[in-house]
Amino acid sequence: MTGTVTVFVPRDAAARSLGADEVADAIVREAAARGKQVHLVRNGSRGMCWLEPLVEVSTPRGRVAYGPVKARSVGELMDKGMLDGAPNAVWLGLTDEIEHLKRQTRFSFARVGIIDPLSVEDYEANDGLVGLRRALEMTPQQIVSEITKSGLRGRGGAGFPTGIKWQTVLDTPSELKFIACNADEGDSGTFADRMLMEGDPFVLVEGMAIAALAVGATEGYVYIRSEYPDAAATMQAAIDIASLNGWIGPSVLGSGRAFNLYLRVGAGAYICGEETAMLESLEGRRGVIRAKPPLPAIAGLFGRPTVVNNVLSLAAVPPILAKGADAFSELGVGRSRGTQVFQLAGNIKHGGVYEDAFGLSLGELVEGIGGGTSSGRPVRAVQVGGPLGAYIPTSRFDLPLDYEALALEGAMLGHGGVVVFDDTVDMSRQARFAMEFCAEESCGKCTPCRLGSVRGVEVIDRIVAGIDPEANIALLEDLCETMADASLCAMGGLTPSPVRSALEHFPEDFKKSRALSL
């Protein structure tokens, strides 16, 4: 064979964290040593983290996957015909036929893992810019109505209807409006924003441009946390390429309408994932939250009407425009429309990104799709929705993962992170950590959060030490109530959620007599 073989090795930070760069180097080196020509593409991750680094080889039958591939075994794999798609110990068959991928409905992640994230040609060849082109033929009101009709709700955590938010910005007159993308994905157990920005950054650029056309904004900011250097670099490159190609800038796709997009990097403050704290940070100030009202949609960045949306919300916009609101709204259940990008994390066998229409139960996701724990021990608790989400016991694995069903349980879907713990977990420690984390990350503006979290740690320590447990549990309940009801934002308001759920479902963990951990 003399033809050039296209080989895909992810450039995603998770794949790189297990040696994807070394694998890519080995492929180029070993192919050259064998006189084979390869065309190396650094794609995004397919989201099956346990198979990373996942290498794909283009064959006449389609892309064939291998994983996990180690750099030192690349030569041997090539000798066994990897470049022809031949089977071996890490052969996974045709990528499209992998059960885990086949079962998903990929709406937001449609291109992630398939294309070269920074290739303009790849993007356009895979339905890129279709949504933006359609938006340019519509009036702002028509675009907003389309989003409202789709039923899209904010994927950052709160689940607020995106169309209603956009309508408010559209209806608020101002000669200057902003689009602010919240890419401060700080919840432990979540990484979908990162994977999307590293795997398909143009979709975010396109989504923000459509949002700008919809509400009459001319300037946009992507606020990425500093813990994501790879995502920031890819996003910046995408913004530059999109500007060079005239997709954004002074005249969006030659329409004469301007939209300039800038990247800003956070500096290690979890609270900046709260929308008003993020706006403060974008303005160059401490990330202290603002009391609402006024809503950012009316007085947001620099006091101007601002759309603040999560990465996944904005990334859902181009396909909604391209395929129509119905294509999105026909997926899902009840008032949770479309797809949800779940992130399976922690002690889980098959961890990664899993996008599917709303309606899966927690048990199906954790045991069925996730394959249970990676330690092989029984699952004991699952934290859904990040550090502010509730701990759910296996007895509630029948819970459907949608906004309303979880809210009824006092839990939340949040940003879709699902962190699994096996039976070695000490739930009093997890409850204590929730308070500790709040104390560490509180912006300090309101008392229930700033002081309540510190007192919470102390009270939990007393309970676990066996000091007047009944009275101290009552005190903890009271403290949780105060924090939940009187905090200004979700940081203090939802910290009681993991604490209360741990206490409710795992009271035995609080009864052990342990030394005060000081």
Partner 1 sequence: MFKGGCAARKGAAMVLKTSDSYVPWSKEQTVVVVDKHRGERGALMPILHELQETFGYIDPEAVDLLAAELNLSKADVHGVVTFYKDFRSERPGESMIRLCRGEACQSMGAERLASHACEHLGISFGGTTSDGAVTLEQVFCLGNCALSPAVMVQGRLKGRVDEARFDEIVDELKAGRR
CA distance 207 to 247: 12
- Kindly state the DSSP code that residue 359 receives in the 8-state scheme: T
Smallest CA-to-CA distance from 300 within 225, 245, 201, 221 is with 221
Question: By CB under 8 A, what part of segment 234-263 binds partner 1?
Answer: 235-237, 239-240, 243, 260, 262-263
Q: Contact letters (x/-) for partner 1, 189-218, by CB under 8 A? A: xxx--x------------------------
Smallest CA-to-CA distance from 359 within 394, 331, 391 is with 331
Compute the least distance from the CB of residue 14 to partner 1, in Å: 5
Q: Stretches 149-157, 162-170, 186-194, 472-480: which one binds partner 1 (CB under 8 A)?
A: 186-194
Residue 174 interacts with partner 1 (CB under 8 A)?
A: no
Q: Is 402 exposed, middle or buried (0-12, 13-18, 19+ CB in 10 A)?
A: buried
Pick from 11, 46, 106, 264: which binds partner 1 (CB under 8 A)? 264
- When the beta carbons of 66 and 221 are compared against partner 1, the nearer one is 221
Smallest CA-to-CA distance from 311 within 144, 147, 196 is with 196
Give every CB contact of residue 202 below 8 A, 6+ residues apart in sequence: 117, 120, 123, 128, 238, 241, 242, 247
Compute the least distance from the CB of residue 417 to partner 1, in Å: 7
- When the beta carbons of 16 and 153 are compared against partner 1, the nearer one is 16
- When the beta carbons of 27 and 49 are compared against partner 1, the nearer one is 49
Compute the least distance from the CB of residue 9 to partner 1, in Å: 16
* Residue 32 neighbours by CB distance under 10 Å: 11
Residue 332 interacts with partner 1 (CB under 8 A)?
A: no
Question: By CB under 8 A, what part of segment 288-327 binds partner 1?
Answer: 288, 302
- When the beta carbons of 151 and 346 are compared against partner 1, the nearer one is 346
**Helix axis angle, 162-171 to 140-150, nearest 10°:** 160
Residue 184 interacts with partner 1 (CB under 8 A)?
A: no
Residue 340 interacts with partner 1 (CB under 8 A)?
A: no
Pick from 202, 270, 403, 506: which binds partner 1 (CB under 8 A)? 270
CA distance 224 to 268: 10
Q: Are the beta carbons of 115 and 99 closer than 8 angstroms? A: no
Pick from 8, 9, 10, 16: which binds partner 1 (CB under 8 A)? 16
Pick from 229, 368, 378, 507: which binds partner 1 (CB under 8 A)? 229
Q: Are the beta carbons of 140 and 168 closer than 8 angstroms? A: no
- When the beta carbons of 53 and 332 are compared against partner 1, the nearer one is 53
Q: Which helix (H) or strand (E) holds 181?
A: strand 178-183
Question: By CB under 8 A, what part of segment 19-58 binds partner 1?
Answer: 49-50, 52
Compute the least distance from the CB of residue 195 to partner 1, in Å: 8
Residue 281 interacts with partner 1 (CB under 8 A)?
A: yes
Residue 109 interacts with partner 1 (CB under 8 A)?
A: no
- When the beta carbons of 147 and 366 are compared against partner 1, the nearer one is 366
Q: Are the beta carbons of 169 and 156 closer than 8 angstroms? A: no
Pick from 122, 422, 461, 509: which binds partner 1 (CB under 8 A)? 422
Residue 441 interacts with partner 1 (CB under 8 A)?
A: yes
CA distance 422 to 375: 8
Residue 186 interacts with partner 1 (CB under 8 A)?
A: yes
Compute the least distance from the CB of residue 84 to partner 1, in Å: 30
Interface size with partner 1, residues (CB under 8 A)? 71
Question: By CB under 8 A, what part of segment 450-479 binds partner 1?
Answer: none
Smallest CA-to-CA distance from 110 within 329, 365, 316, 351 is with 316
Pick from 39, 285, 292, 335: which binds partner 1 (CB under 8 A)? 285
Q: Output the CA–CA distances (angstroms, integers) from residue 436 to 287, 457, 499, in the order listed.
A: 19, 6, 11
Residue 402 interacts with partner 1 (CB under 8 A)?
A: no
Compute the least distance from the CB of residue 101 to partner 1, in Å: 15
Compute the least distance from the CB of residue 415 to partner 1, in Å: 11
Pick from 7, 9, 14, 278: which binds partner 1 (CB under 8 A)? 14
Residue 119 interacts with partner 1 (CB under 8 A)?
A: no
Q: Output the CA–CA distances (angstroms, integers) from residue 513 to 340, 468, 471, 517, in the order listed.
A: 41, 12, 16, 11
Q: Which helix (H) or strand (E) holds 396?
A: none
Residue 265 interacts with partner 1 (CB under 8 A)?
A: yes
Q: Is 379 exposed, middle or buried (0-12, 13-18, 19+ CB in 10 A)?
A: buried
Compute the least distance from the CB of residue 273 to partner 1, in Å: 10
Q: Output the CA–CA distances (angstroms, integers) from residue 497 to 74, 140, 179, 432, 507, in the order listed.
A: 47, 39, 31, 12, 15
Residue 352 interacts with partner 1 (CB under 8 A)?
A: yes
Pick from 154, 201, 338, 351: which binds partner 1 (CB under 8 A)? 351
Pick from 154, 199, 346, 452: which binds partner 1 (CB under 8 A)? 346
67-70: long-range contacts (C-beta < 8 A, 24 or more apart)?
67/92, 68/18, 69/23, 70/19, 70/23
Tell me the CB-side half-sphere exposure of residue 154, using CA atoms within 13 A: 20
- When the beta carbons of 105 and 374 are compared against partner 1, the nearer one is 374
Residue 188 interacts with partner 1 (CB under 8 A)?
A: yes
Compute the least distance from the CB of residue 380 to partner 1, in Å: 10
β-strands 336-337, 91-94: how paired? unpaired
β-strands 332-333, 306-310: how paired? unpaired
